[in-house]
Every structure is written in structure tokens, then in C-alpha cells.
Amino acid sequence: MTKAVFIATAEPYSGKSLVALGLVNLLLGQARRVGYFKPIIDYDPAQQPDPHLDTVARYFQLPLPYAEAYAYTRPEALRLIEAGAQGELIDTVIRKFKRWEDAHDFTVVEGSDFVGPGTALEFDANVSMAKNLGVPVILVVSGEGKSTAQVVNAVLTLLRSFEAREVPVLLAVANRVAPAQADDVQALLRGQLPAAVLLAVVPENPDLLHPTMREIRAGLGGELLFGAAGLGNQVDNYIIGAMQVPNFLNHLKPNVLIVTPADRGDIIVCALQANLSASYPRVAGLVLTAGTGPDAPIVRLLEGLPDAVPILAVPTGTFETATRVGAIRSRLTPDNPKKIQLAISTFERHVDVGALQAKLVSFQPVGLTPHMFQYRLLQWAKRARRHIVLPEGNDDRILRAAAQLLQQDVVDLTVLGDPVEVAASAKRLGLSLPAGHLRIVDPVKSAQYADYVDTFYELRKDKGVNHDMARDLLRDVSYFGSMMVYKGDADGMVSGAAHTTQHTIRPALQFIKTKPGVSVVSSVFFMCLPDRVAVFGDCAVNPNPTAEQLAEIAISSADSSRAFGIEPRVAMLSYSSGTSGAGADVEKVRRATALVREKRPDLKVEGPIQYDAAVDPLVGRQKLPDSEVAGQASVFIFPDLNTGNNTYKAVQRETGALAIGPVLQGLNKPVNDLSRGCTVDDVFNTVVITAIQSQQA
């Protein structure tokens, strides 16, 4: 079940508020703590609250700490997007949303409003936010002023835009559709929308669309002269009172707003009299232009009327004022509960709330974006603090990563090296390495050195190791760090920035050894692609695995995938798909696939399969139409190290993907290798993953 839903549009004034209010009202009948979150708000909170947040919080009396209910103001978000820092924006939105989500049973997320500058960049940001939050979407399209074909095309185009980014859509709402078009829009869309997407067509309702006199006053910045009691009057029409009285009376319509110069006392008196007459429609109010105010006799007349309609005065001219009136849009505000109740009842009348509830309950997120993956890793690592040893204290990248890890309070660390040299390097780099959660240890001068030598001798004496050999080997930082892990003085080790893979893992193979039932240590990379995270194995350890080893690598990789929140769908890669090819290499993959199915019938696995058939749904359906993996694989098992290593590096370099790893799998305790070309971020991420592995162990 999902704990959130994202309301999205691609245009201003689509009527998202109606959907939001109806949805919150629906959820409050099912959940005790309902939250409301807007990644981007349009108003500076120092000047006024966001109208949507304010309306939801006050009408439903929700305890929404305002500063926590949004991530950015619109100008802040646009500056980041224009600067190419959308990743920073997404990371902050995820962090604030997850904190909000954790505190509530269900959270409604409302996308931005597309009002003002920067709307060309805004749509992609909304799709990215929905994708990275991992929640389903309700789409809202306005039918105001559109033909039937335009409404249908707008809904389908918006839906395809989200589907192209693999963002699941639960409900499409065509809102503010002309009543005469509603049935046609319903029939045409239902025939073209996927069956899994619910549809609601909401006819235009003047009582929801048209502003009140209070909104007219706010929109014009007008001065209220008379009629405060009537500020709730709805304005359905407006006219300019610049003609003679007989002609003027012929143009009155129900709930009309009259815009007239302040010196037209005849129009003012006539309008007030028409409002009292049973022969003419109701007048909503008057706006007196040019800033002079009515003449004194007219004022005296108005002061003697007990029930005058609202009369506003504005400094602008009549034509400019009328133009501004026509541009004023009605909002659902907390001071108009009648209109909010109408919006909720409209939602309930036109949306299949039972079907929507069922979809919310049954929805299971598919896939994991890189931003969400990295957020989860950090949160998981912090669940139970672990102690990680970093043997390469003479490497600047290690020290920079250590400073970040300590600053974010993720793990305890032991850095191996000469304490004086490490301190000098930290000072040169301008790093703060607080002593509370950090030890800097010179292996030979360590109090544990003698004990580690004796332990290693006892473990390896049958292999011809004597005490002198043990003393020499324990001077090596990889051996010393691995022995810390073996003895329980550290929970895991990360090395390899300045050493080969073999140098890093050889000590672990000698005395940490493999888990029961595991005969081969292998590795995976978590490939953070633009919109998803894939698992590549084995790309670092085994040059030419046998079919049996390949099967074991696949099973270990699937377990690693699931352990880190990625549903495993395993593709056993080859240059052939299904039964189309032959040859020793293909047969090895075919045999390995059969072994995986035999040993782990719970896993979804396909092989042999080509990479394009594994990732492209169209190619997958063509080549393997009955496969539950083809076109949607998440775990990719390469037939040999040559293929795997080159593929991960090609994907990393050509797409800009972040490759986290290699993450070793199969050892009794976690030891992980770094590439010698690793970045500070690589070190940081690998330590985080090592901490999580030690928790799971």
C-alpha cells in the first residue's frame, strides 16, 4: 500500500484544489493522521501563507507546521533548476517529504501551480519529484475554453508524459469541462485510456469558478466603502456602467458586478434600486473607478440604506479596472466553507471514490530512483551505528569521505595510518576529523598488534605461516583491517583506493571466509541510472565463472538486490535470447539459469537473454513474449568479467550514471573494495553500504 499520492497538472488554474480537498476529505475517513505537502509554494511565507496549504490546514483543522509542509518557494526552486542543480532540489524534497511521510498515515502531495515565470522548466521538475518520491499520481487537466478534442488530447498527452518516465498514474481528471461536452469527453477518453487508469470528468460549475466580492476586492486592492456584509456575494458576470440608464438596465444579468466611474451617480442609484426590485436580477456589487469616490449626496443616500451591496473604490480607470476584473480567478479559501463543501461534494459525485480507495490500498511502488536509493541507504545506515575501518589513511579521498561521514553522523571510523601524518593531511585539506567517533591507528604501534599476530598464526599455521610471517603480514593495512573485522573490533572494512582488488580481498578469503553454502565471493555494482537503479554482477572478481558459479553469483546478486530495497528480476545475459542461439558460452548461461530456477524457484529469472531484450519492454515482448523479466529486468548477470567490467564502465562513462561498488557478497563479514579511480562520493557510498551489510549480517 502506498502512503502518499501526488496531484499533478501541466497548466495554471486546472482546479487541483477541488481534487486535493476531495482527496483529503476521503482520506480523513480512513486514516487518523493525514498530511499535506507542497514541494514548491508560490508565495513568500514571510508575507502570506500559501493559499492551498492554508485552506487545507484551516478547513480540516490539520496540524500542519508550515515550515515543514513545503521544500522551496517558487523563486528558490527556479534558481536551482536554471543553475542545473535539480539534483539538489530533488534531494531536499525527498528529505523533507520522508520526514513528513514518517509522521503521518497518509500524505497528499500537491505539485506546483504553473503561475508566473519559469513554467517551461516546471513540468519536468514535477515529473522528477513524483518519480523520485516513488508515489502514484493523479493528473488534473482543465477543460475551460477547450473543445472536446483539445480536452481529450491534453489528458492523453499528460498521461503519456508521465508514463514515458515510468511514473504510475492512478486517476486522470478532466476538470471544468463544458457540461455539453462532458459525455463525449468521457466516452472518448475511456476508449483510449489504459484500463488501469481511473477517469473522472467534472463538468464546469459556475458556483466554483466565479469569484466572490471578497476576491474582487483582494484582486483589485480596492477600498470598501459600503456593504461589508455582502463580500461573500458571488460574481457571475460583470458589465461597464457607461451608458444611459435605460440601456444599462437591459444589460443586467444575475449576480452581476458593475464597473462604473465614481461620478456616475445615476448608475449607482439605478443599480441599487434594480437590486431591490423583483423585476431585475440580483446585483453582486459595484466597483467605482478613477479614485474620486461618489458625490456627497450619493454618499448620504448610501449611508441611509440598511442593506447596500458591496461598493468598492479603486484609483484605476474604468477600462483598466474591467480588464483586471476579468483576470481575477476564484480560489477555494478557508473563509468560504460553503464553496469548499461544494468542491468536496463535486469530487465525490464525479470520482469513483471506491475504486480510487482500492487502488491506493493495492498500489505497490515499482523501481527505485537513484535519489531515493541514496536517501534510503543513508537512513538505513543510521538505524544501528556501525564501526568501519578504512585502511588507507594516506589517501586524501579517504580522509575527505571520512570527514563527510562523521559530519553526517553515519558511522564510527578507524583510519589506519601514522596519526601525525593523518592529522597533517587533514589540516592541509582543511578537514575537521572529530575524535569522538574516530580513531587513527598505526597497526604496528597498536595495542592489538600482538594479539592479531597470534590469531593469524593460529588460523594459518597449517598453511605454512610462522610467527615472523604473521608479524610481517599484519604490518600490511589490508591484513590488519581485515583482522579487526574478524575479531569484532570493526564491523566492516572498505579499502582499494590505493590497492588492487586482490590485495583488498585476499586476507578476507584467508580468514573471514565465505558464508555457509557459498563457495564463491562475487561482487555487484549498484548502477544509479537517470530514473532507476540497476544491479550489475559480477564486474570485479571472477574472470570466467562456470555455470555453477554463475548461478551462485545470480542468487547472491538477487539477495543483495532485495536487501537494498530493489525487487530482483534477474537477467542472465548472453549474446542470444531464449532458444535462438547456440554455442558453449550460450549453453553455460542456459545451464546457469536452470540451476537458479532449481535452487531458488522464488526468484524471477530469465536467460539466456540479450541486454536490449532485458531492458526494453517492446524488444522484450518481441523476443520473449511470455517472460516476466524481459523488458523490466533489475538485476543483470554478466557471463564473464571481461563483459561485466567493460559494460559497467561504458554505462557509467556514457550516461553519467553513479556506480556504487563493487560491493562484495558471500563473505561472513562485510569487506568491500574500491576502484583505484574512485571519487570521494564512491568512498562515502561504499562505507554506507558496508554499514548496512553489517547490520543485516
The three cell numbers of residue 385 are: 551505528
Contact 405, 687 (CB under 8 A): yes
Phi-psi region of 656 (alpha: psi -120 to 50; beta: other; left: phi over 0): left
The torsion defined by the Cα of 350, 352, 357 and 358, in degrees rounded to 10, comes to -160
Q: Hey, which residues does 438 pair with through a beta bridge?
A: 413
Q: What's 463's DSSP letter?
A: G
Read off the pTM. 0.68
Helix, coil or strand: residue 125: helix
Pairwise CA distance, residues 648 & 644, whole Å: 6
Pairwise CA distance, residues 100 & 64, whole Å: 10
Neighbours of 279 (CB within 10 A): 6
Helix, coil or strand: residue 80: helix
Burial class (CB in 10 A: 0-12, 13-18, 19+), 643: middle
386-513 and 517-666, same CATH topology: yes
Express the helix, strand and coil content of the chain in percent, nearest 5 each: 50, 20, 35
Q: ω into residue 602 within 30 of 0, thus cis?
A: no
The three cell numbers of residue 467 are: 610467527
Q: What's the pLDDT at 154? A: 93
Q: What's the pLDDT at 360? A: 86
Percent of the chain with pLDDT over 90: 42
The separation between the first and the last C-alpha atoms of the chain, rounded to the nearest angstrom, is 28
Pairwise CA distance, residues 570 & 547, whole Å: 15
Q: What CATH number does the domain located at 4-205+337-365 have?
A: 3.40.50.300
pLDDT tens by residue, 631-649: 999 999 999 999 999 999 9
Q: What's the pLDDT at 117? A: 57
All residue ranges of the chain with pLDDT < 50 are none
Contact 135, 171 (CB under 8 A): no
The three cell numbers of residue 277 are: 426590485
- Cα–Cα separations (whole angstroms), residue 109 to 34, 100, 128, 375, 493: 11, 10, 13, 19, 40
In words, the CATH class of domain 213-327 is alpha beta
- How many Cα neighbours within 13 Å face the side chain of 433? 24
- Tell me the one-letter amino acid at 355: A
For the chain, domain boundaries: 4-205+337-365, 213-327, 386-513, 517-666
Contact 289, 317 (CB under 8 A): yes
Helix (H) or strand (E) holding 586: helix 584-599
Q: What's the pLDDT at 366? A: 67
The torsion defined by the Cα of 511, 514, 520 and 524, in degrees rounded to 10, comes to -100
| Angle (nearest 5°) at CA 252 between 249 and 254 | 145
- In CATH, what is the architecture of 517-666? 3-Layer(aba) Sandwich (3.40)
- How much is the CA Rg of the chain, to the nearest whole Å? 34
Q: Hey, which residues does 493 pair with through a beta bridge?
A: 389, 671
Query: What is 386-513's CATH number, 3.30.1380.10, 3.40.50.10950, 1.10.940.10, 3.30.70.2750?
Result: 3.40.50.10950
Pairwise CA distance, residues 512 & 514, whole Å: 7
Pairwise CA distance, residues 317 & 288, whole Å: 9
Q: Specify the residue for cell string 487518523.
A: 32
Q: ω into residue 117 within 30 of 0, thus cis?
A: no
Kindly write down the DSSP assignment for every residue of 625-665, as one continuous string. TT-SSTT---EEE-SSHHHHHHHHHHHHHHH--EEEEEEEE
Question: Which positions ≥6 away from 412 have C-beta within 8 Å?
Answer: 385, 386, 387, 388, 437, 438
Contact 312, 225 (CB under 8 A): yes
Helix, coil or strand: residue 269: helix
Q: In this structure, what are the phi and psi dihedrals at residue 240, rounded to the nearest 5 degrees? A: -95, 125
Pairwise CA distance, residues 609 & 629, whole Å: 10
